Amino acid sequence: MCRGDRREEIFREDGDREMMLATLAETVEKTGWRVHAWVLMGNHYHMLFQTPEPNLVKGMTWFQTTYTLRLNAKHRKRHTRHH
């Protein structure tokens, strides 16, 4: 399960969900995970999968970072740091 920052929407439209699933498919290709179920809600998702190799952290890091970068690029959102 993963939730958007401050419970913000992580799927604004169906295209975002499609992009998430495409990113998941790439992750599965890279990691060998076996996906059993998923649900994509507006501001979070749930996934159930097996990791035959000990690569959960590496795979989730790639998956979530890649999806976030793609989503932000699609919606032209930039994060700035406040000092």
Q: Give tens-digit pLDDT for 12-64.
A: 899 999 999 999 999 999 999 999 999 999 889 999 999 999 999 999 999 99
Residue 25 resides in a domain: yes
- Is-contact 23 31, C-beta < 8 A? no
Residue 42 resides in a domain: yes
Number of domains in the chain: 1
Residue 30 resides in a domain: yes
Residue 21 resides in a domain: yes
Residue 79 resides in a domain: no
Its pTM stands at 0.84
What is the span of the domain harbouring residue 6? 2-74
Structure confidence at residue 40 (pLDDT): 94
Residue 55 resides in a domain: yes
Element (H, E) at 36: strand 34-40
CB-count burial class (<10 Å; 0-12, 13-18, 19+) for 53: exposed
Nearest alpha carbon to residue 19 among 59, 55, 72: 72
pLDDT tens per residue across span 29-41: 999 999 999 999 9
Residue 82 resides in a domain: no
Nearest alpha carbon to residue 67 among 40, 48, 37: 40
Residue 6 resides in a domain: yes
